[in-house]
Amino acid sequence: MAIDRVHPLKLEDPATGGDQTDQFPTELNPLEDHIECAGLVLDDLSNRDEAVRIYRDGDDMKFMDVNNPTPSTLSDLLVGGMTEEQHRLLPSSNHWIDQDSYDEITRSGGKTTQVVTWDSPLKTRKIREEVITRTGGFVFQLVTSNYNGSGILHETLTEVITRTDGRVVNIARTRVLF
């Protein structure tokens, strides 16, 4: 499928950061002009919502989508940029997940409500369990239970997400180690 490439119209003025004055709406030059906006929402043929978006929060650019409802920053996405303290805070179960692990996914109304990661399709040792609670179609709470190498509960992380006008304004995290 071919995509439609569009050029927004612009009104440019040195008083608002431009380098020339356009008296009338002019086609944006994609090799020169920048678009200024509060965020970017990405839709497709079947979805017109705010589930996939990029926006600014203070000095951070944040990314989120349906599978990653907790916004991430560029710092979160850096490969190899993890400090020792950040590594220590990772769920311990990340060290026991390998290519043979098996995810058991439970859905309700087409939305994921629970993901249990097992050591293999035989489901002999639980590694992680994530329970997703929604309100008004949005993720309200994530409870992640991590198990140690023996399959014994090691820690629980509860994240409660507060929204205003559909935007995430706060994520309260509580971690309990066993």
pLDDT at 122: 92
Six-digit token string for 18:
């431009």
pLDDT tens digit sequence for 161-171: 888 877 777 78
- Whole-number Å distance between alpha carbons of 125 and 100: 12
pLDDT at 114: 95
Same domain, 44 and 95: no
Among positive and negative, which fits the CA dihedral 166, 168, 169, 174? positive
| pTM assigned to the model | 0.48
Average pLDDT, the chain: 81
Range of the domain at 118: 90-177
Q: What is the CATH number of the domain that holds 124?
A: 2.40.128
Of the pLDDT bands very low, low, confident and very high (cuts 50, 70, 90), residue 129 is very high
- Give the total number of structural domains in the chain: 2
pLDDT tens digit sequence for 99-121: 678 899 999 988 899 999 998 89
Same domain, 100 and 131: yes
pLDDT at 132 over 70: yes
Q: Give the domain-ending residue among 52, 77, 102.
A: 77
Same domain, 62 and 138: no
Cβ neighbours of 161 (radius 10 Å): 19
pLDDT at 85: 57
pLDDT mean over 117-145: 90
Nearest partner of 92 among 133, 146, 137, 45, judged by Cα: 146
CB-based contact 34:40 (threshold 8 Å): no
Same domain, 62 and 124: no
Same domain, 124 and 68: no
In what side-by-side order are the strands of the sheet with 68-73?
Answer: 39-41, 53-57, 60-65, 68-73
